[in-house]
């Protein structure tokens, strides 16, 4: 109905100058008229121009004063010609009216307020406030000085009205013919498809988002790194045991029982089950001996090794606990060279901040063969990190309880324009390998790094909590781009 009214009016007239007045004259809501105008303008049936008008309207307080008079006039009217006691005047007026009325009446020099008496200073007063409010209410003009005064007293507020002026557009027609959006079976049967006007396709419009599975950035980078290991001839270690005994996590790696990493401030120990009872006893005895008194050309640590400490269960602090199990199992068979890798979750009792979490993922690789040297380790590291896109490497001597020599790995970050640490590496100590039963000429080179750090660099994420954990935005999984590592 509103559309017919607009198009019919423009058929006989050049313009609708004011959509609000048009709506009033034809009995429509202004909002309905505006919505129809927008639709017609979109299809170029009409050309619409925005118009904006500002007007003053009375506040609730202003409406009250327009009806009963301003507080100052009410107070003046309550004072008889002979005057009145202040207490009696207060009783005659509302407290708010009395308070405002006193201020304004004194300002206007209408009354004189003595200590106990109120008297008139003029015999007659005009309520200009009420007059101005009524004129505004009736849509009449009011001078700017009076407007400013009423605005300061918050008796009026500005109301902005928006509407349209409308003229015929290039596609104007007295009646809009609805364009068909679909060609139906019924159209073909009736034959009316020949007379239909079809809506044009908007090829730039976005379609409905395709819902489906999305990989998390960590999983994408993990898969890329996994493929690098597989292409280098490595096989994956089973890492499905999050709970590990202190023996495999620390003792088998020749890490002393008084080491700070074994404190509850650094490691999550389990309450239930608190201990592990299934350990290879002969191997445990050899590990105890090398800790207490040494062996294999080592002096050991020279302390009283306690079995109850080795039995304690914990959430593994590194995947090297898995490496110790794999090497021990390898030692029970006729020796054959092996390349192992793992990528899985580890747990540290650390304070959570932008770069640290209590749980994260560790990438680990190791090679077990006869006669390996530190030069072999450096060569493998150059090959591995080059496949990650890190061709500039530096190595710094470091200390680890279970590797000697040990090296921290640094790569030059082109974005930051500086060297950053990307991992740790070393050769497993004889005190770790020989108690397992591996031949004396067998050496193991190993290295490790986190999965989160390269992922954060690749995806431009500066807070690890935005990548992993309960605060991750699920939208990140849908928005993140394809990631390709290295060469």
Q: What is the pLDDT of residues 294-338, one digit of tens each?
A: 888 889 899 999 999 999 999 999 999 999 999 999 999 999 999
Q: Which of 4-8, 130-134, 155-159, 198-202 has the lowest mean pLDDT?
A: 198-202
* 363-401 per-position pLDDT tens digit: 999 999 999 999 999 999 999 988 887 888 899 999 888
How far are the Cα atoms of 322, 365, 388, 393 from residue 457, in angstroms, in the given order?
Answer: 28, 21, 12, 17
Question: pLDDT at position 482, please?
Answer: 61
Helices (H) then strands (E): counts for the chain: 19, 15
pLDDT bracket for residue 52 (50, 70, 90): confident
On the CB side of 248, CA atoms within 13 Å amount to: 27
* 83-94 per-position pLDDT tens digit: 999 999 999 999
Question: pLDDT at position 177, please?
Answer: 76
Question: pLDDT at position 484, please?
Answer: 59
Question: pLDDT at position 322, please?
Answer: 93
Residue corresponding to tokens 């067998």: 442
Residue 327: partners with Cβ closer than 8 Å, 6 or more residues away:
368, 428, 433, 436, 438, 444
Average pLDDT over residues 244-264: 87
* pLDDT over threshold 90, residue 171: no
Mean pLDDT of the chain: 88
Average pLDDT over residues 209-224: 79
Task: Judge contact between 10 and 172, C-beta under 8 A.
Answer: yes
Task: Judge contact between 8 and 174, C-beta under 8 A.
Answer: yes
Average pLDDT over residues 133-139: 90
Q: Nearest to residue 348, comparing CAs of 264, 426, 468?
A: 264
Which sign, positive or negative, has the C-alpha torsion 87, 92, 97, 103? negative
* 13-26 per-position pLDDT tens digit: 889 988 888 888 88
Question: pLDDT at position 125, please?
Answer: 92
* pLDDT over threshold 60, residue 62: yes
Question: pLDDT at position 368, please?
Answer: 95
CA torsion angle 460 463 467 470 (round to 10) = -160
Give CA–CA dist 445/190, Å, rounded.
81
Question: pLDDT at position 7, please?
Answer: 87
Average pLDDT over residues 155-172: 88
Task: Judge contact between 332 and 258, C-beta under 8 A.
Answer: no
In this structure, what token pair is assigned to residue 438? 């591996």
* pLDDT over threshold 60, residue 97: yes
Average pLDDT over residues 271-289: 91
* pLDDT over threshold 50, residue 59: yes
pLDDT bracket for residue 487 (50, 70, 90): very low
């Amino acid at each position: 109905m509103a559309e017919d009214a607009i198009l019919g009016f423009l058929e006989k007239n050049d313009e609708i100058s004011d959509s609000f007045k048009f709506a009033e004259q034809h009995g429509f809501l202004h909002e309905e008229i505006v919505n129809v105008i927008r639709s017609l303008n979109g299809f170029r049936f009409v050309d619409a121009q925005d118009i904006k008008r500002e007007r003053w309207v009375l506040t609730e307080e202003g409406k009250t004063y327009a009806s009963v008079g301003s507080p100052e006039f009410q107070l003046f009217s309550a004072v008889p010609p002979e005057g009145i006691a202040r207490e009696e005047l207060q009783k005659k007026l509302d407290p708010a009216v009395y308070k405002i009325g006193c201020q304004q009446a004194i300002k206007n020099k209408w009354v004189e307020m003595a200590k106990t008496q109120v008297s008139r200073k003029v015999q007659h007063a005009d309520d200009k406030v009420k007059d101005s409010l009524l004129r505004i209410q009736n849509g009449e003009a009011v001078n700017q000085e009076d407007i400013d005064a009423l605005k300061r007293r918050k008796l009026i507020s500005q109301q902005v009205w928006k509407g349209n002026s409308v003229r015929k557009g290039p596609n104007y027609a007295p009646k809009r013919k609805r364009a068909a959006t679909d060609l139906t079976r019924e159209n073909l049967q009736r034959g009316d498809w020949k007379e239909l006007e079809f809506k044009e396709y908007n090829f730039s419009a976005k379609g409905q988002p395709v819902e489906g599975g999305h990989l998390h950035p960590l999983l994408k980078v993990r898969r890329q790194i996994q493929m690098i290991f597989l292409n280098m001839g490595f096989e994956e270690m089973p890492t499905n045991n999050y709970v590990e005994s202190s023996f495999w996590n620390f003792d088998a790696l020749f890490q002393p029982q008084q080491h700070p990493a074994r404190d509850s401030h650094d490691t999550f120990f389990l309450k239930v089950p608190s201990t592990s009872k299934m350990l290879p006893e002969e191997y445990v005895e050899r590990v105890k001996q090398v800790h207490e008194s040494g062996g294999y050309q080592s002096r050991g640590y020279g302390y009283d090794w306690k079995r109850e400490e080795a039995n304690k269960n914990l959430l593994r602090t590194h995947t090297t606990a898995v490496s110790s199990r794999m090497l021990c199992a390898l030692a029970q068979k006729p020796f054959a060279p092996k390349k192992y890798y793992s990528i899985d979750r580890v747990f540290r009792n650390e304070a959570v901040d932008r770069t640290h979490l209590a749980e994260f993922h560790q990438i680990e690789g190791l090679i077990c063969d006869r006669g390996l040297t530190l030069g072999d380790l450096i060569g493998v590291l150059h090959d591995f990190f080059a496949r990650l896109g890190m061709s500039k490497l530096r190595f710094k001597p470091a200390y680890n309880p279970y590797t000697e020599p040990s090296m921290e790995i640094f790569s030059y970050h082109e974005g930051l324009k500086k060297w950053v640490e990307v991992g740790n590496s070393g050769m497993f100590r004889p005190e770790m390998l020989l108690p397992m039963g591996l031949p004396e000429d067998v050496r193991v080179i190993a290295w490790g790094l986190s999965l989160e750090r390269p992922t954060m660099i690749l995806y431009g994420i500066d807070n690890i909590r935005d990548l992993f954990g309960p605060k991750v935005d699920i939208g990140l999984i849908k928005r993140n781009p394809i990631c390709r590592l290295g060469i």
